[in-house]
Amino acid sequence: AALWEARFARPEGGELAMASLRGRPLVLNFWGTWCPPCVKEMPELDQLQRQWGATGGRVVGLAVDNPTAVREFLARRPVSYTIGLAGFEGTALSRQLGNREGSLPFTVLFDRYGKIVQRKLGAVDLAELQTWTQAL
């Protein structure tokens, strides 16, 4: 429940209200600029957003990082999916969603009803994400 009430600043300005994403499938990825596996999987998440977005699915990345570092990183490596600035408090939210270790990357798939369907600690790849999302 805390996730759907959460609001995060966006790197480009404005706010991401998680409540606005209810009612559609969602891949939520916790990441950091300093995390090599996080950076490696970003093109895969980006490609999923381009493919899956046309059918209503969404990919959101929550940066567990310093906002300035995230803005500088995204200026060099932009992505098409939505990024929210969760800051280091994002670790607590990821733990609430099942990330017992609090490590990154951590990815959660929600169905359109907001129910968790899949979780993974560690990098995901496009084939795995496509398998997850086809079930929805």
The answer, yes or no, to whether residue 46 has pLDDT greater than 90, is yes
Q: What are 75-90's pLDDT values in tens digits?
A: 999 999 999 999 988 9
* C-alpha 75: how far from chain center: 18
The answer, yes or no, to whether residue 60 has pLDDT greater than 80, is yes
- How far apart are the C-alpha atoms of 97 and 93, rounded to whole Å? 6
What's the predicted TM-score (pTM) here? Answer: 0.96
Write down the pLDDT at residue 88: 87
Res. 136 pLDDT band, cuts 50 70 90: confident
Bridge-based pairing of strands 7-9 and 58-63 is: unpaired
